[in-house]
Amino acid sequence: MKLPLFPLSTTLFPGCPLDLQLFEPRYLDMISRCLKQDIGFGVVTILEGKEVGTAPTSLGGFGCEAVVKDWQQQSNGLLGVRVEGIRRFRLLETEVQSDQLTIGTVEWLDEPAERPLTDKHDDLAALLQALAEHPMVVALDLDGTAGGQRELGYQLAYLLPFTPEQKSELLSFDDPGERLDRLHELLSSLQE
């Protein structure tokens, strides 16, 4: 499957919103095509390179399909777009078009069924509730609740200040329990 890519210094996770401001012609054209054809695009994490200008030289091996939920012209003249992560993919290869838009060949990843939270997840659930009170999180309309292990893992991985490599790793886990275990490890290393 070929998918237009939007490389960013952040990582998008399924079920999570992301606000973008667009001004580069390649991304304005991409969003226009996606809206007309009612299709999504891929958000991938930049490991080397920049968001603006020539295409980044190194991308994470996993990404998330994004669909446009809302858009409006901003007071600064840029196009503001809110997207939501839908499903994960493995990035198999990329090609950069003449306009510097990156096209990826992707493999969709299956999502396991949602699993209920247990007592061992209480501290992570409490952390998500606390994060939901931050003004930046409030602006994303995340309410601080998670219906299960997968949702909790995605929201925390999205909101917490991990490195691009760590976020890409968290996106790669198929098992929600493994993602939550890794989140525990990463949070422990942050506290040290």
pLDDT tens for each residue of 109-156: 998 889 999 999 999 999 999 999 998 888 888 888 898 999 999 999
For 144, the domain range is 119-191
- Percent of the chain with pLDDT strictly greater than 70: 100
Cβ proximity of 171 and 63 under 8 Å: yes
**What is the pTM assigned to this prediction?**
0.92
Q: Write down which residue in 50, 77, 108 finishes a domain.
A: 108
Token couple for 113: 């069924």
pLDDT tens for each residue of 157-192: 999 999 999 999 999 999 999 999 999 999 998 877
Instruction: Name the burial class of residue 142, with classes exposed (0-12), middle (13-18) and buried (19+) by CB atoms within 10 angstroms of its CB.
Output: buried
88 and 181, same domain (yes or no): no
21 and 102, same domain (yes or no): yes
Instruction: Name the burial class of residue 146, with classes exposed (0-12), middle (13-18) and buried (19+) by CB atoms within 10 angstroms of its CB.
Output: buried
Residue with the two structure tokens 């009612």: 38
